[in-house]
Amino acid sequence: MAKKRFRLATVLRARQAKEDALRGEVLAARAALREAELMVERSGETLRGRQLPESALARSYVAAISARQALAGELFAAQRVVVDAQEAVAAKLRDYTDASQARRAVEKLEERHKAERAAAELAEDQVLVDELATTRRSRTKPPMDNTENSAGGDEGS
């Protein structure tokens, strides 16, 4: 019996490659998230470090408030980037999970195929063993006497 190869092996390799690519995308998205979080931290530290001037000069006070508002805007934008990065990581993780499940489904089919092939090979081997045993028995023992002829010999008289 010719061994049947697993017909979905190419599909399995493609799904593994897709899963690997998505794993890389998840890692990249997580790196972008960490970078965005660092940017928020730096912006927050800069904003906290900016104090309003103690002098009562209107120009310096207005300039300081404008600078703080600009820093607050940067902080808000950085926080928005973090939220977007978190959403991107979640989306990439969902894609990765879906790809992993799809790959695992094909792997299960492959495992079932291997088990069926092994069972078929065992059955084929058993048939060969049975044939050998039957052939060997017929060579070593003389044919059995026909008991019907000896018992039925009286009927014809």
pLDDT at 11: 92
Residue 53 has pLDDT above 90, yes or no: no
Q: What does the DSSP 8-state code read for residue 156?
A: T
Per-residue three-class SS string for the chain? CCCCCCCCHHHHHHHHHHHHHHHHHHHHHHHHHHHHHHHHHHHHHHHHHCCCCCCCCHHHHHHHHHHHHHHHHHHHHHHHHHHHHHHHHHHHHHHHHHHHHHHHHHHHHHHHHHHHHHHHHHHHHHHHHHHHHHHHHHHHCCCCCCHHHHHHHHCCC
Arithmetic mean of pLDDT, 51-58? 76
Place of tokens 């792997």: 107
pLDDT at 157: 45
Domain ranges within the chain, ordered by starting residue: 13-140
Give the pair of three-digit tokens for residue 49.
Answer: 């470090």
Instruction: Please state whether the predicted TM-score (pTM) of the whole model is above 0.85.
Output: no
- Per-residue pLDDT tens for 106-146? 999 999 999 999 999 999 999 998 888 888 767 666 666 65
Residue 58 has pLDDT above 60, yes or no: yes
Nearest Cα to 91, choosing from 26, 34, 18, 21? 26
Which CATH architecture group holds 13-140? Orthogonal Bundle (1.10)
Work out the burial of residue 75: count CB atoms within 10 Å of its CB; fewer than 13 is exposed, 13-18 middle, 19 or more buried: buried
